[in-house]
Structure 1
Amino acid sequence: MASIRWISAPLLFGLWLSTGLPAQAGTADPVGPILRLEPMPAFGHAFGSMPFQQVPDDPAAVGYREDEYAFSGVARIYGFAAGSDSSHIERLGSTEYVDRMLVRRPVDPGRFSGNVLVEIINSALDFDAMAAWPYMWRQLTRAGDIWVGLTATPAGIRALQFANPSRYAQLGFGTNPDPGCHSTAPEAGVIFDVMTQTSQLLRQTGNPLNPLHGLPVKALIATGYSQGAMIVATYTNAIAPNLEGPAYDGYISIAGLGGYALNNCEALTDFASRILTPVSNGIPLMQVQTTSETVLLPLGLPGESVHDRDIGAPYRYYDVAGSGHLDRILTNHAADAADLYAAGGYDVEAAIEGCHLAWPLSRFPAEYVYDNLLARMEAWIQEGQPPPPSQRFLLGGWLWPGQPVGGLRSPAMDVPTADYFIGAGLPLLTSSGGFTRGIPCFFLAIEHDYSHSELKRRYGSHDQYLEQVSRRTVQLQQQGWLTDDDAAEIVRQARAADIP
């Protein structure tokens, strides 16, 4: 682990900071605080910063600013009690850490809505890749919400240090303190207490360490995508029930299958099957899957009916028709080519080309679905009104040939100008069904745009196309599946489109 130059534990925390503690059933003792938080040293720029994406963005264009911090503390490491279910855990000891936090907030503090979305950043490809921000930034910035991204894994930290050794030298997770665990690798289980400690800090309006100092937080929502969703699922099932009080006011778990090991020496196999459905523990929880997950694992997803129903309310499960695990929205928001190369020699476009897709990477407008889910989650927390259920995908999500039946719909699916597929849905259209440069080809979302003649056959004229889009958009808006702003934008784009 990198040298942690900040932590000098006061006597008050002496016993709590000790490592190698004997196993203790139950963990209701308070989680310790974040001990230090400072702006990141000014060596270069933040990895994943908006101006340094594959397609650059300017936070000032939407009235936002971006700040990066290093923060340190001591994290408890957890394990499952022998013979227990997924909610009975024990504390194995504690270890120090220094992590990074990326914050995007309104420049004008008066615009702050009081809502904070904390993203557990996915690093399944061995570098930090945001997903909640790419899909939800429109709603976040319109509402005046704050987004906080947390580096979640040792692999993410290692990539940061490759990308900019001077800026990220102090980051690191300690090792597993359990005498029975002989791993010398940085302990991945640090993230669970990091999540709790972050929630505590962000709620402390008067704490000078709080990066939101002086801004009162009304609601904290934790979210994760893919690997990040697996971490969130494990947190809701195993960690949250053992806290003294709720750390977060809501959870949005997206595109995750199964759980995340509690520590480096924990066997994941048995636990993973238990948390395909996260447990809400009385806190609003949305579990959202793309077409990729429902096609690849239809029998492992919650519920037996094609219609959604509460599972341990407050809970909602959604399939997003037309979406895929990895699409053009996500790749556009990945760190730019220079940063990815420095972080490990990664080339996003070369990896995609290595899958030999017959059609381009999908540009399906999933952002409209996710904007609405975020808005509905915030209303759920503030007003106590759960969002409506939606129809499940039929038969796990795929009728061949054709598009998904059921699921969370959008005008792009119901008045289409393209067909949307995933690599596994069309095995004959990819020469590689496995992995290339770390990317699972079967998770890539692809699209087949309709020809002019096909558009003409479907819609006849531009006015007819616009009328169908407008009618379907109003229906979805009235049913609660589109925000007013996004509904207006969809119709505006349809009016301007050269279709047919």
Structure 2
Amino acid sequence: MTHARKCWAVAAAAALMVTLVPASSAIAEQARTPISQPAVSGPIPGTVPGDRLSPVLADTYPFFSTPDDLAGAGYVEQEFYLSGVADGWDLQGNLVASDVPYQTRILVRRPASDHRFNGTALVEWQNVTAGYDLDALWNGEAIMRAGYAWIGVSAQRVGVNQLRGWSPTRYGTLDVTGGGLYNADELSYDIFAQAAKAISSGGRGSPMGRLDVRTVLAIGASQSAGRMTVYYQNILPKVEPVFDGYAFIVGNAPTRVGEEPVFQVLSETDVRTPVRPSPDTDQFRRWEVAGGAHSGWRGQEYRMPISVRDLGAAPVYNCTLPPFSRMPVHHATAAAYDHLVRWVRHGTPPPTAQPLVFNPDGTKARDSLGLALGGIRYSQLTVPTALNTGDNSGQTFCVLFGTYQPFDQATLDELYRTHGGYIAKVVLADLRNIHSGYLLPADARVNLREALASSIGQ
């Protein structure tokens, strides 16, 4: 049983013991609707072999199956059907439907054995902004290094409909609209919560195998963070808690202060005003990453071959400036997950972080190189070799990509007279971020390897 469900069970039991004048909190706990236990079937047969399949065999593996070396890290990828009946909620938290049948899928990447598992499941609300399910927060290197389990939930109509068309054999029975009656994703909130309940329940047929899940975190990026905000803000006060903590990445976060801690990580792209809607509290943290993009280079590089394999081609963008900031926002999310686990399990709040700095006219303050001031400042920004910003413009999604413009040789020569001097500055900057809690030591080692392999200062 997870921390959230234990607390809810204790509160519910206490409410039942109050017979004369119940406290308001006890009444609230009594009124919260239990989350239904869904049926789980699978794993669904079929995985991607080492050589890429032809489109005619697309039915044999999960859509957007990861090309990462899971086996080498002691991990497995499995897909399951999730089905049951779900309640429907509108954006204001009003109940608009009850017990509507649904079937969807969850994609599980987890340690194959318990000794590799750190006890925490990251349950991601799959992002559908592009018109299909996107595992936007799958950071295989950090997730597998730490021993997390990752679970992607297909909760929304757009993503599920695309799956049905991509492989009618594998996904043709999926439906999250109640047969077309609820096309505004009214069922998505309960489906997401039921997926978490399936993950934490364990037992025979569990999608987690024999892993003992101690902590369940809800994570979502961009549009998915917006959906999770509606859930936390308006629906969670009325239903059984099944998540122990929440991570809202490059997107909205709730302003309501609840029992479950909330961590918001934003790139420079996402911070468009000096007005912050919520200050840091004992239950809320907000980090802003200077130079980072809403959708940066690392995610684009990871998804390019998958898009070619499963969609026939990778998207091409014509942006005003060279796109895809290389500032490692994923380093912040990796650190945030670790902090969130400690917050949930031990009550240890994460460190606060300086916000990005704005000029009096409302524009972002920048140094002489054009780099943002304030925020979390990784070595890629404080020991720069390129202009990384969160800003861009142009067609379709260009506004989300930020910019990456390498410095010319004259600028590099002026900044770094020797290779050793450059390395020393990188190490010092990373040590400061480790000490501040913004960077994991393992990611600092990645930075060091990249700096050593560069020709800067030579």
Give TM-score, length-normalised by structure 1: 0.77
Comparing 389-398 with 280-289, which one deviates more in the overlay?
A: 389-398
Equivalenced residue count is: 409
- 1:199 aligned to 2:167? no
Partner SS, residue 138 of structure 2: helix
Equivalent residue for 2:232? 236
- 1:155 CA drift (Å): 0.7
Partner residue in 2 for 1:94: 99
From 22, 33, 36, the equivalent of 2:37 is 33
Q: In 2, distance between residues paired with 1:190 and 1:209?
A: 24
How far apart, in 2, do the equivalents of 1:63 and 1:41 lie? Answer: 20
- Does the aligned pair in 1 maintain the 2:297–2:325 contact within 8 Å? yes
Corresponding residue of 1:190: 187
Gap regions ≥5 residues in structure 2: 1-29, 47-58
Q: Which residue of 2 aligns with 1:394?
A: 357
Tell me the distance in 1 between the aligned counterparts of 2:217 and 2:35: 19
Residue in 2 aligned with 1:253? 248
> Map of 1:146-295 to 2, 5 A cutoff?
146-175=149-178, 184=181, 186-206=183-203, 208-244=204-240, 246-257=241-252, 277-295=254-272
Contact 2:109/2:149 (<8 A) preserved: yes
Q: 2:129 aligns with which of 116, 121, 124?
A: 124
- Label 1:472 to 1:299 Cα distance change in 2 as closer, same or farther (>3 A): closer
Sort the Cα spacing of 1:363 and 1:146 in 2 relative to 1 into closer, same or farther, 3 A. same
Report the counterpart of residue 414 of structure 1 in structure 2: 382
**Distance in 2, Cα, partners of 1:122 & 1:340:** 16
Q: 2:417 aligns to what? A: 460
Mapped partners of 1:393, 1:447: distance in 2: 19
- Establish whether residue 113 from structure 1 lines up as the match of residue 118 from structure 2: yes
**Which of the residues 27, 45, 50 maps onto 2:66?**
50
What do residues 164-213 of structure 1 show as CA deviations (whole Å, max 9, x unaligned)? 2211111111338xxxxxx746451211111221222222122x242114
Distance 2:250 2:323 in 1: 21
1:376 aligns with 2:339: yes
What TM-score does the superposition give when structure 2 sets the normalisation length? 0.83
> 3-state SS of the aligned residue for 2:60?
coil
Report if aligned partners of 1:324, 1:443 keep a CA contact under 8 Å in 2: yes
Q: Deviations over 1:335-389 (max 9, x none)?
A: 3214124xxxxx4432x1xx33432433322222222111111122222111111
AA aligned opposite 2:271: T
User: Pairwise CA RMSD of aligned residues?
Assistant: 2.2
Larger displacement relative to structure 2 (355-364 or 450-459):
355-364
- Report deviation, 1:397: 7.0
Q: CA deviation at 1:239?
A: 1.8
Compared with structure 1, are the counterparts of its residues 101 and 191 closer, same or farther at alpha carbon in structure 2 (3 Å cutoff)?
A: same
Residues 14-66 of structure 1: per-residue CA shift (max 9 Å, x gap): xxxxxxxxxxxx96232221034222244321111112xxxxx2212322111
Distance 2:298 2:345 in 1: 30
Q: Distance in 1 between matches of 2:363 and 2:263?
A: 19
CA displacement at 1:300 relative to structure 2: 5.9
The percentage of counterpart residues that share the same residue type is: 27
Contact 2:249–2:333 under 8 Å retained in 1: no
Aligned AA (2:225): A
Letter in 2 for 1:240: L
Q: Which letter does structure 2 place at the counterpart of 1:310?
A: D
Equivalence map 1:71-82=2 (5 Å): 71-79=82-90
Structure 1 gap segments, 5+ residues each: 1-25, 52-56, 81-85, 177-182, 258-275, 304-308, 342-346, 425-429
